Structure 1
């Protein structure tokens, strides 16, 4: 069976097209192994958003099961579900549906709810260890208020920096007109000891280039003293430190990311996201000091049956850059093959889960492990 799977993945690989620009780059990806993680009948078979805790030595994958209102922990080494923590729906430990979370350790879980002004710290049994009400601080000025955002806007951008005991999370303006969205704050950081919020704005160059789109999601990494942002509709990486702001080009040359067109009608925006290319995901491989960035390719609005395509149905490119964002590889993946939402770096390799429909048929979360190698 393992040999058959390996042949299958290699065939997927061969089917991926390669441009002349890709051929001139110094590195590529090569599949080296597969890992099957068994799911049970209660597991959420799609929509996994894994977080690998930095503080733990063992490689656990943690996700939130929306149907069960429970956190699930999967072991890479044991290749199975090892813990399911049900969250209370009523009582003193009640938690509303979770929209974003961060496992600092298996016994320290930060989480938040979409559009509510609270941050929570839970223990390993789902009990509330601490709760912070940020209502007052999110009212920056009488005419400038913000809301904590989560899965409906940006997922897995809740991050805890253990060195300065600070939580970072995405916020949305309640008061700015859409035409001035890019002049608002996009991120807040909460220092646990002082209980104070600080805010980050969109880089001026970014909002000037991007027209007026109500929500331009971003992926975020904190590396040392640098705050690194990869915006969905930008071909650049924004790097902020306390002393300066730097913009690094990190783009896909054979397909330009389309600037969003301002429109407040919800379905029009959804259709735009289905069809247009945009960036998704930002990962850092500490071992090899490499960045990974994915770009979704354009696709038709509807499939052959007349149904709307999903965001994850499209083909995509994975860009790989060195520590200074010099692109060293660009690898193409065919449509409906892999699920970028279930991707992470571990031990110097890049792990990508198979497309969700394959998971649903097999009842197994199957990861393909890719290694970045020189050509």
Structure 2
């Protein structure tokens, strides 16, 4: 998908962090007052920290941190229990991946024996195990190009946080886009945002996913408003929806996309969001994304049955000390809102943007894991675990 503006502004490079800079703060947070942290590091690992796709899962008696390094095309596994690197799969140096022209942008780990990878470059879905053995490849490009309609034009997993696997029905859920200008055309918000692909029939099924009614009636523009994250519960037939510039979290019935609940997901650090005219203006886009805060994504952890919402905080357009433009991504303060299984807010935890970065957050069975680099030693990768 050619998202014309994102590439100008949000380019993810490596993060340099010092292990001594914990930078944790609390605000209006009675239930999270006595959190404990645990930090360990791994030496001689050239992980850049650029992959947005991360997962912590349990396999037997060990917890594993899995991440896709998209810039280097490596799938990397760290045994958190043993605190050591387990496996690094280098796709650029593996013939079976190179000859198929696979360039992965996202992954979905069911377990260590079943890891789905999606190549946005040629719309291929690949199933491998943690040793890099290819178990199956689905050529989705041919299927979806023949089925394009006014409601369904393109699929993606990039920046979607909407890549899910329904084990019972053997369906992969992809984020979809209709053939509309998704920034400035209100018709976009009248269309579904996801579609099911059945792994057995190798065909797309129905589209689904409902935007809240007010989105189709907005007479203003907010850049990247089309980005969302949703959490499906296949056994319950529901899904939760979180948008970038919306304080609320929405609950829908999956079989008919009917709205069944609205929850307060407001951050203590965000208030109102700026509104722009419905026309493209690159400078105003840059200013908007640099200064406005947003709800980056909604996450769910299965064992603890908790939700986490990552919140990027507001910042001035320019650094008052240097008078230079602030970076829209790096050194931004952020917070994490914790919710219980009923989507009731437990509390909010704030982080210093000079010590941590918001896209390096991964939920675990007992809290949150944030990985970063030691600014004094680039070969040392630091893992900070906050126990909720």
> If the length of structure 2 is used for normalisation, what is the TM-score?
0.78
Map 1:16-35 onto structure 2 (within 5 A).
16=25, 18=27, 22=28, 26-35=30-39
**1:313 counterpart SS class:** coil
Question: Structure 1 residue 254: deviation in Å?
Answer: 5.0
Q: Which residue of 1 aligns with 2:208?
A: 200
Native 8 Å contact 1:301 1:308 kept in 2: yes
CA deviation string 1:280-308 (max 9, x = no partner): 12222444433211211111233344244
Aligned equivalent of 1:292: 308
Shift of 1:176: 5.2
Helix, strand or coil: the match of 2:280? Answer: coil
What residue is the counterpart of 2:238 in the other structure? 226
Map Cα deviations across residues 315-354 of structure 1 (whole Å, 9 max, x no partner): 1222122222222212222332222322222232222334
Structure 1, unmatched stretches of 5+, are none
Corresponding position: 1:251 with 2:263: no
- After superposition, where does 1:38-117 map in structure 2 within 5 Å? 38-40=42-44, 42-47=46-51, 49-53=53-57, 58-87=62-91, 93-114=99-120, 116-117=122-123
In structure 2, relative to structure 1, the CA distance for the partners of 1:253 and 1:138 (3 Å cut) is: farther
Q: Match for 1:326 among 344, 350, 366? A: 344
- Structure 2 matches for 1:296-311, cutoff 5 A? 296-303=312-319, 304-305=321-322, 306-311=324-329
Q: Is the 8 A contact 1:343 1:351 kept in 2?
A: yes
3-state SS, counterpart of residue 44 of structure 1: coil
The superposition leaves residues 200-227 of structure 1 with CA deviations (integer Å, 9 ceiling, x where unpaired) of 2442425146544464211222234222
The answer to whether 1:350 aligns with 2:363 is no
CA distance in 2, matches of 1:298, 1:103: 33
2:197 pairs with one of 177, 190, 193: 190
How far apart are the structure 2 equivalents of 1:281 and 1:294?
Answer: 5
- Per the alignment, residue 332 of structure 2 pairs with 314
Shift, 1:260, TM fit: 5.1
Aligned to 1:96, the other structure's residue is in SS state: coil
The aligned counterpart of 1:165 is 170
Give the aligned CA root-mean-square deviation in angstroms. 3.2
Matches within 5 A, 1:106-185: 106-114=112-120, 116-123=122-129, 124-125=131-132, 127=134, 129-137=136-144, 142-151=149-158, 153-154=159-160, 156-175=161-180, 178-179=184-185, 180-185=187-192
| C-alpha distance in 1 between matches for 2:300 and 2:152 | 33
Q: Following the alignment from structure 1 to structure 2, what is the Cα–Cα distance between the partners of residues 300 and 214?
A: 17
